[in-house]
Structure 1
Amino acid sequence: MSARMLRFAAALSSLLAISGCSTTDALNALTSSGDYTRHADIAYATRHRTKLDVYVPRVLACGDKAPVVVFFYGGTWNTGSRGDYAFVAASFARHGILTVIADYRLYPEVTYPDFLVDSAKAVAWTLRGIGGYQGDPARVFVMGHSAGGYNAAMLALDARWLEGAGARPSQLRGWIGLAGPYDFLPIENPDAKPVFHHPNYPAGTQPIDHVTSQSPPAFIGVDTGDRLVNPQRNSAQMAQKLRAANVPVTYREYGHLSHPLLIGVFAGPLRWLSEVSDDVPEFVLANGACTTFNE
């Protein structure tokens, strides 16, 4: 067996612990924490699960203030924990980008739109307070994978949520969605049905319906073989609608991965499987008016 195939087998073995859109400690264990300083358990609101962690890169990409990515994990709005995604922050820290990873309330404790209210408060906290952690509040991006991609898209495209938290989508430099659901009614996934009050869906739940010419620039990434979130209906269609509104959009298709691997490849030893873990930082640095790209 070739060395490349051996590495591939090892990569697949490390992903056996991944279920749905969640990750395990295995991915964090595979990734070095030497590129960042972590500030943990910061409360951005007063409710249960409304805390976040800030990962400050040891070397900042853009002088004395780093571009900022606020990351929301997936899990069908049923599962997930911010601590599981330190490997995402480590990947960004390699490029001098600061990462905020926020928890938000999940089903069955809450349903739509409460997790968007929480997510918006986390972003509003970031815009107000990230300067105290060497982050640049003028270079803030929202990002998510799967259900977290939905959260990120809604905050960037539907002004109701950030405005309710005292901020505005125009304060964002861009948004990043990986394998996100943007046009998914009627819902087929049984885990997501009660989250959105199936079959009595509230109006305005679909991110694709909120695209305007004022929407922030977007990076949309998808695995072409995704079997959980239809890549054509959601990601490709979202990119087309953004372009039709003259919104700058970077659309990338990746093959030979899977729904969970699209974010799993941000873990250190798995990055060779796909360019996505470099493509996203490049988008952040380019749209954050920072021309330095650290290898």
Structure 2
Amino acid sequence: MSFSSALQSLRKEAKVTQEELAQNLGVSAQAVSKWENGSFPEGDLIPRIADYFHVSIDYLYGRAGKETGIEQQVVSALNALWESYRQSGADMDAANKAYIEKIYDIMWAFQISAWIETSDYYPRPEGTDENSRMASVYANNYGYSYMSPNRNKDFYLFLKEPENKEGFGGLLRQSDDVRNFFRFLSDKTNMELLGYLYCLKYGEYVRRETLIKALGVSGDQIDKSLEYLMSLEEGHGNHPIQSVSVVNDEGKAETAYGMNMNMGGLLFGLLEIADTYVHAPCGFKLQIMNRCKEWVER
């Protein structure tokens, strides 16, 4: 493949116009057009073009195959997993479970690769019992990752430090909305209400009277809690809780409530992290602390 063909092919694959590529390289669109029609750029532009398209210089000149970045390797591996289950005729539930397990293995690979002496992948450790609280931690000045490989407590947390001046410190100065939510969660009845609502499947709804009877609390308390949940992100239409109008036995319309399934993972992730913070791990399978600065600026 010639340089002009390689350049044109890479640009079209990336869905980049000649003008956009030219702007990134600091040249004119006419120059890019000439390159794609047989001419060559200045020598100092060649490495920049290769870096822009994430390929080697040899690939641009047709002397090597295209190197696949790790991002594409991950996508290809997961696509192959789906395809293997599709061809085998396995049920979707088995495929979904295998997908989650593979994602978790990939997260573990990212975690152990932070240790410079790790050259080969090895399986993540598993807790011997539910009381085994081990963890893996990596931190530097730009982010933080935490992985819990314990039985019935598997989760992975990745945080990239905000690039604003406050960094992580800004999270400690959240709005009243966030503080009000933690206050809501501190009430046992509200937690029981969330537990009942999250027992509902997609498309299922429950009436107010059913909630009052099931939880054994007053209608005023249920109304107050439901009103608060319905107020979250008001105006955006993506509430954690959803409502529909139904007709009761008396022919009157009343409201029934269900959960936004897209938001459930955020709540349970928050609770998982909170439990881990309160009940800290008793040891670390891998601990790399490359953070040289404080978490919050004075």
Relative contact order (C-alpha < 8 Å, sep 6+): which is higher? Answer: 1
Alignment TM-score, normalising by the size of structure 1: 0.25
Query: More helix by proportion, 1 or 2?
Result: 2
Q: TM-score, normalised by structure 2?
A: 0.25
Larger radius of gyration: 2
